[in-house]
Structure 1
Amino acid sequence: MSTHLLLRAATVAALFSPYSTGLAAALQEVKPLVAAEVFGERFQRLESMAMGEWWNVKPNPRRTMSLDVPRDEVVAFALYTHDRGTLKLTAQLFPLYPDEEREVRLEFRSGAGEWELAATEKVIDLGWSAHFRLDGWDSTRDVEYRVRHGNEASFEGTVRRDPIDQDVLVVGHLSCNSSRTPGPRPTMLENLKRVDPDLLFFAGDQSYHHTEHTYGWLEFGVQFREILKDRPVITIPDDHDIGQSNLWGESGKQATDEQGPSGGYFFPAAYVNMVERCQTWHLPDAYDPAPIERGIGVYFTNLKVGGVDFAILEDRKFKSGPEGKIPKMGPRPDHINDPKYDRASVDLPELALLGDRQIRFLHEWGQDWSGAHMKCVLSQTAFCGAVHLHGSPENRLLADLDSNAWPQAGRNAALREIRRARAPHLCGDQHLAVVVKHGIDAFGDGPYAFTSPAIVNTIYGRWWWPQDEQPGPNPVEGSPLPWTGDYLDGLGNRISMMAYANPSDRTDEKQRADGFGVVRFDKKAQSVTVECWPRFADMSQGDAAQFPGWPITFACADNDGREPTGYLPVPEFVRQRSSAVVQVIEEERGEILYTVRMRGEGAHLPVYGKGPYTIRAGADRPDEIEVEGVQAKPVGDD
């Protein structure tokens, strides 16, 4: 293979564009991409395995996969979603040699069985990806696709039709793919194939190769491509994906180090944008696409699959860093170990969690039910501190500010928006599988949340282990787990622990609590069932066991756990329709209590105060009728 230096490369300025395929159009045959020129001299170690003369890079014993693959295998994998008539597909390639063409082709199999060219796109050398967008997509049928490079390389899969007619939508829920256990994930892959999810959600830390994202992303894709290729996939990067131990993004400011507590992103915008382009370009267009500081892009958006509407958040991007903003009360700026600390001292009004833009997105998303029968929120990490022991069984930590438990006001604001849509929350990051029911003003008044187990739990173990080793009030009846019930986390947030999967022996891969989640959305029953499976469970056997305490089923209505004080009369408009969207507003404060799609028969409208209330309703949004000054019938009043 020739190694001459004819290679398409973009100008350094163009590399700061996070998603645009117009970047590829600017490429010129100049020279190989050089890290020092793209990222600056300070960061010239970035992407050393996939940039420059990558074929001459010496083997690294920690990285066992070769990027120099046979040339008929250079198309590594593909990711796609389709929604609202638009198909977006990312083709991920292994690095290309200087004399190889920089185009890939997307083809679909016709009804006659012939492959037909649909589009051609340029390869972006920084990250080795290509991106296809097709508008006017017909989501009612399965379509076979293949991505081709040159005359030999090809990757094939199926764009699935939207399963809108299914009563139950099945989601595979995964996170935290430890690089310390490289190589295939055969048992997990076979189990996922048996589950056959309609949608896959990877909540973050697909790669732990901090300075070598392209290598780590390719490793992840090769491990899971046989399940990725045939269904829509949501992948969102977390801190390790963009090269940091923790991330408090502070709207894109420059961080002082890779540990992150000062706030901001440590590595250059070009690197962050490359990561986000490879992992998120295939998602629907961002709700509010304006970039943040230093030209770093955003991707928060929503995706509808099978009548379930998923809000996709970036819970790290706008969050304040703790260092210098709150008192230090532990060995690190983000750890609190002082049991007598003043909780109000860390919950300051100027601190951000999701930020105004994402709160506005959630607020508007919750009121638009077009094409949706249920809603769900996805993000990187949990809105609570459902962990006591960190890293080792000897290391007890009162509060970890890396989670969305902090700042508390931001946490509660986010949960109120999630509750308004009666949506559950799915996330990863914590390396410990838990199901909690959040409390905002009282225990149990908020939504349910499921944190998935780590795919491979070798990086940083965690345990739920109350210091007094006692159940909380209102423990789960019949649970095999000893410590369920109502608790305050280390920041004073109310949580009701429903189930947890502690590792029993982290030296044994079958006892580390590795695994994955499955979430079943039953549109007909308006319920959600959460499953949690050990990595090595033999799901080919009918008696395969989930982690103790699972499965858990709850009604969508229970994502709002407030105790009703009364009920409003249901307008005739709603009773005459099978699934109207109804919104209830408390008039005194102008607060939306909830916006939900309801069934006309048996519909009821709970309220939580004296009123009066405004009722709005419509087919997909509450925009067709409005009734003001409605009084509730108190609970117990016949």
Structure 2
Amino acid sequence: MNHLITTISAVIALTASSTASPDFKLDWDQTPDQQWTGPSTWANRLQDWNVHQNRVECTPNRNLPMRTLHLLSHDVEAANGSIELNVDLGRLDQETTQATGGAAGFLIGAGRGKMDYRAASIVHQVPGPGAGLFTGVDLQGRVFIHDNELGVYGYDDLKPLAQSKAQPKLSSGTVKLSCSATKQSNGTWKIEVTAKSADGKQSSTVSGEVPEERILGNLALVANPGGKNKDYARFWFDNWAGKGEGLKAHTDRSFGPVAGTQYTVSRRILKINAQMVPLPAKRLKGAILEVKKDGKWQKIATTDIDPVSFTALFRVENWDDTQDVPYRVTAPMPASDEQAWGGTIRRNPREKEEFAVAAFTGNHNFCKQIAAGPRHNKGRKGSWIEGSWFPHADLVDSISAQNPDLLFFSGDQVYEAASPSFPDRAAAELDYLYKWYLYVWAFRDLTCDIPTVSIPDDHDVFQGNFWGQGGRAAKRQNDGGYVYPAEFVKMVERTQTDNLPDPYDPTPVEQGIGVYYTGLNWGPMSFAIIEDRKFKTGPDSDEVKSGDKSKLVLLGGRQMKFLNEWVGDWSDGAAMKASLTATIFAQLHTWRNKDGSIEQDKDTNGWPVAGRNEALRSLRKGYTLMIGGDQHLATTAHHGVDEFGDSGWSICVPSIANYFPRSWKPIKAGMNRKPGQPEWAGDHHDSWGNKVSMYAVANPGKESGHKPELLHDRVPGYGIIRFNQKTRNIEMANWPRYATVGKGEPYEGWPVTVSQQSNYGRNPVAYLPEIFSEKTNPVVKVIEKKSGELVYALRINGNKFTPGVFAEGEYTVKVGEPDTKEWAVLSVKTGAKQETINLGENDFDAE
């Protein structure tokens, strides 16, 4: 469906139809003072632009080159005709006289017409192929045409292709700037730039010719502050207009005020988290959720927008999950500026034979040459055309083709230093939103229709690594805790996790930071969403320095209480279980130290070992498959605690795009390998001594044969996990991002198919009597009688089951259906005569 349901904007006026050389004008006359510049524009960066006194202003908090405000609603696509752009502009700091290199004007030809318009809309600050032509006027009043593809990051003085003599200085007031491009008989395009003073008494013109491809693509306003010291220029713009046959209008391209949505439905509770753009205080009340019934939109909920995260959370109980329901969310805007975004709340796939999860991690958007900060990138050029991986359209198309039932983003949806600029601590909240919006923009056509779980990891909270230490504040990340303020952390979690089912125990941790660990039931699946970072001990903390290993925490007591309850809960028709974590419970990479030894990585869930083993012992009681990411390496392994393979299987999915490819190349060959398996396969001890049996890995090193090589040769992609409730088999596959069903294959070694029961791979020492039940697929719980501890719980496949146990003794076996609360309770012990226990309807009593 068309997810952009309605768009009516007072900011931009279309003076011709979108099919006949449309003109445009942006004047912001009806826009209040606000950070968001309107649905027809994209600001680089969000914090650098704002609307003030009915015009847009560029006010970066430091000297940063080439700030751009891209036009979303129009671009240059026509091979014939002409275009003309006009804008009024001026300086905000006319009294400053020491700024050098400052200039303002237009960017034309961003992306050369070869890029997705969203990717081209990020072009700013870094030169290189696709960076466009900068046409404008500098602080000395010189009009110029500058080839932004040939510049150097951080330049102070423009190096134009063409430049006039000094004329109307920007310090003298309003400058009226125009730029036209007309196709010539030789196939080139003549560009002419003119600057005039407001009274028309001063003017200057310059012209030049460029190849046709250089004027194709995005249009933007540019503010280049200039300056080698603290003095730099700030600019304002108004009355931005364009006309000409070379322009093309796109009425389906906009961003905000509703940027996107994520939702879940669990146990008939619908939660939708709508991400808004930064709105003024008077527009934060009364966001509306509507559903379409009998062909008409009906309002079912309203809520206010959080003033920091700009999220609107809707929670609807007693949701009818038996049918697909179209929905839309509307921001509290004037009717003339209204926009709704929506999709479809899917019917519960409870009866579906095969349930598919699509899993992702590591959302890098650009190559290093584009994303690196000034100190890393001086003098280097990155290609915007080849180095822009955002908006990941190939991956999104692949996921659409595979049509999963759940999306799982395991963390690093945001990279603080690379998506696409350095972390801005002075404006951390807006800097995060700027980068978070890229994720929203890229995946919103999926998340609006498919239930979504996203959980933040270290980079999402602007840390290179993250050990939460129960929420404490930290000066250094290795001490354990959060380096950024608690309000920032809470904002991040609201944007990413508010659509999750209500937390198991909502009690905040230190600094008032919330929690989101919880259970999610959807289709035949029961998921445990685990915060494997928030309670974890920091490697340089006092607890580690004490040498007392009993003080080391992984999941913590609160989460272990949740897990121990969750593994035994098979209500709401749950047939299979999986855990969703940021990373997996082992170090499945072999990063080498300088001496050749394997690094011990405390960022993985292989450490602390006791906490890792405690988690596995709990998870296996529910026959739980483990899904995670983070490690920059796709793997599938069978985990062990006391013996190899005595616990569950894991799949670690590949990064969406990978800056730091890792490998699994152990020093010793694996034990118990099957004939023909490589040495990395088989039984291994990871660097912490944890038992892991390796079955598939996507090591880097081979050429993919796909361009750009910098992306595809680093083995990026996604995971698809299919749970078959009829066979109770689980198929795991890690896919290259260039491949999809019918158009390619998973990475070598996948798919790996395992049985549900292999997720508790421990060998029984004895068996209890076989159980035959007249109820089909009942839940069986085996409980040690003396301690009352759950041994395991499982919804069996069929009506026969022979419980295996791991110690001689007496056991309570409960057989029944948690949804009807009808149970048969048996007291049995090992060593007794092994006869089948037949359970008829009269043997089940209401609990």
TM-score by length of 1: 0.83
Deviation at 1:474, TM superposition (A): 1.9
For 1:242, the aligned partner's letter is V
Q: Does 1:377 align with 2:559?
A: no
Corresponding residue of 1:198 = 405
Deviation at 1:118, TM superposition (A): 2.1
Corresponding residue of 2:729 = 527
Corresponding residue of 2:415 = 208
What is the correspondence of 1:246-325 to structure 2 with a 5 Å cutoff? 246-257=465-476, 260-325=477-542
Corresponding residue of 1:173 = 359
> What do residues 534-558 of structure 1 show as CA deviations (whole Å, max 9, x unaligned)?
01125452xx111111000000100
> What do residues 433-482 of structure 1 show as CA deviations (whole Å, max 9, x unaligned)?
11110000001101001111001012x221101124x3x11225555x54
For 1:94, the aligned partner's letter is V
SS in 1 for 2:288: strand
Deviation at 1:510, TM superposition (A): 1.7
- Is the 1:51–1:126 Cα contact (8 Å) retained in structure 2? no
Corresponding residue of 1:74 = 257
Deviation at 1:393, TM superposition (A): 11
Q: Does 1:603 align with 2:798?
A: no
> What do residues 583-604 of structure 1 show as CA deviations (whole Å, max 9, x unaligned)?
2123455432211112453312
SS in 2 for 1:462: coil
- Is the 2:284–2:307 Cα contact (8 Å) retained in structure 1? no
> What do residues 413-442 of structure 1 show as CA deviations (whole Å, max 9, x unaligned)?
100110000011001111111111000000
Corresponding residue of 1:576 = 774
Corresponding residue of 2:228 = none
- Is the 1:86–1:133 Cα contact (8 Å) retained in structure 2? yes
Match for 1:626 among 819, 825, 829? 825
Q: 1:324 to 1:298 in 2, by over 3 A?
A: closer
> What do residues 518-537 of structure 1 show as CA deviations (whole Å, max 9, x unaligned)?
00000110111001100112
More moved, 531-540 vs 548-557: 531-540
Q: Does 1:435 align with 2:636?
A: yes
User: Partners in 1 of 2:565 and 2:453 — Cα distance?
Assistant: 21
Deviation at 1:65, TM superposition (A): 3.5
User: Partners in 2 of 1:526 and 1:62 — Cα distance?
Assistant: 54
For 1:202, the aligned partner's letter is F
SS in 2 for 1:399: coil
- Is the 1:168–1:522 Cα contact (8 Å) retained in structure 2? yes
Deviation at 1:125, TM superposition (A): 2.6
Deviation at 1:98, TM superposition (A): 7.0
Match for 2:612 among 411, 434, 437? 411
What is the correspondence of 1:121-270 to structure 2 with a 5 Å cutoff? 121-149=303-331, 150=333, 151=335, 152-181=338-367, 182=388, 183-209=390-416, 211=428, 212-257=431-476, 260-270=477-487
- Structure with the bigger percentage of strand: 2
SS in 1 for 2:404: coil
For 2:794, the aligned partner's letter is V
Q: Does 1:422 align with 2:641?
A: no
Corresponding residue of 1:488 = 685
Deviation at 1:2, TM superposition (A): 5.6
Q: Runs of 5+ in structure 1 lacking a partner?
A: 8-31, 34-45, 329-344
Q: 1:179 to 1:222 in 2, by over 3 A?
A: same
Deviation at 1:55, TM superposition (A): 5.9
Corresponding residue of 1:16 = none
Q: 1:299 to 1:476 in 2, by over 3 A?
A: farther
Deviation at 1:72, TM superposition (A): 7.0
- Is the 2:48–2:67 Cα contact (8 Å) retained in structure 1? no
Corresponding residue of 1:331 = none
Q: 1:369 to 1:407 in 2, by over 3 A?
A: same
Q: 1:73 to 1:249 in 2, by over 3 A?
A: closer
Q: 1:351 to 1:575 in 2, by over 3 A?
A: same
> What do residues 218-252 of structure 1 show as CA deviations (whole Å, max 9, x unaligned)?
10011111111111000001111011111111111
Corresponding residue of 2:649 = 448
What is the correspondence of 1:545-560 to structure 2 with a 5 Å cutoff? 545-560=745-760
Corresponding residue of 1:12 = none
What is the correspondence of 1:92-111 to structure 2 with a 5 Å cutoff? 92-96=275-279, 102-111=285-294
User: Partners in 2 of 1:457 and 1:396 — Cα distance?
Assistant: 24
Deviation at 1:395, TM superposition (A): 7.6
What is the correspondence of 1:500-515 to structure 2 with a 5 Å cutoff? 500-504=697-701, 508-515=710-717
Q: 1:70 to 1:614 in 2, by over 3 A?
A: closer
Deviation at 1:313, TM superposition (A): 0.4
For 1:160, the aligned partner's letter is R
For 2:349, the aligned partner's letter is P
Match for 2:765 among 543, 562, 565? 565
- Is the 2:48–2:58 Cα contact (8 Å) retained in structure 1? no
Deviation at 1:178, TM superposition (A): 1.1
- Is the 1:50–1:215 Cα contact (8 Å) retained in structure 2? no
Deviation at 1:609, TM superposition (A): 2.2
User: Partners in 2 of 1:272 and 1:312 — Cα distance?
Assistant: 18
Corresponding residue of 2:58 = 56
> What do residues 323-352 of structure 1 show as CA deviations (whole Å, max 9, x unaligned)?
044779xxxxxxxxxxxxxxxx97701111
Q: 1:305 to 1:632 in 2, by over 3 A?
A: farther
For 1:464, the aligned partner's letter is W
For 1:370, the aligned partner's letter is S
User: Partners in 1 of 2:559 and 2:802 — Cα distance?
Assistant: 30
Corresponding residue of 2:189 = none
User: Partners in 1 of 2:49 and 2:456 — Cα distance?
Assistant: 19
User: Partners in 1 of 2:775 and 2:67 — Cα distance?
Assistant: 60
For 1:232, the aligned partner's letter is P
Q: Runs of 5+ in structure 2 lacking a partner?
A: 1-27, 37-44, 69-120, 124-219, 222-251, 368-387, 417-422, 704-708, 835-847
User: Partners in 2 of 1:51 and 1:477 — Cα distance?
Assistant: 64
For 2:447, the aligned partner's letter is L
Aligned length: 571
TM-score by length of 2: 0.63
User: Partners in 2 of 1:200 and 1:167 — Cα distance?
Assistant: 18
For 2:264, the aligned partner's letter is T
Deviation at 1:358, TM superposition (A): 0.4
Q: CA RMSD in A?
A: 3.0
Q: 1:633 to 1:142 in 2, by over 3 A?
A: same
SS in 2 for 1:410: helix
- Is the 1:347–1:406 Cα contact (8 Å) retained in structure 2? no
User: Partners in 1 of 2:589 and 2:566 — Cα distance?
Assistant: 30
User: Partners in 1 of 2:289 and 2:596 — Cα distance?
Assistant: 51
Q: 1:325 to 1:395 in 2, by over 3 A?
A: farther
More moved, 518-527 vs 92-101: 92-101
SS in 1 for 2:722: strand
Deviation at 1:402, TM superposition (A): 0.8
Corresponding residue of 1:364 = 565
- Is the 2:311–2:495 Cα contact (8 Å) retained in structure 1? yes
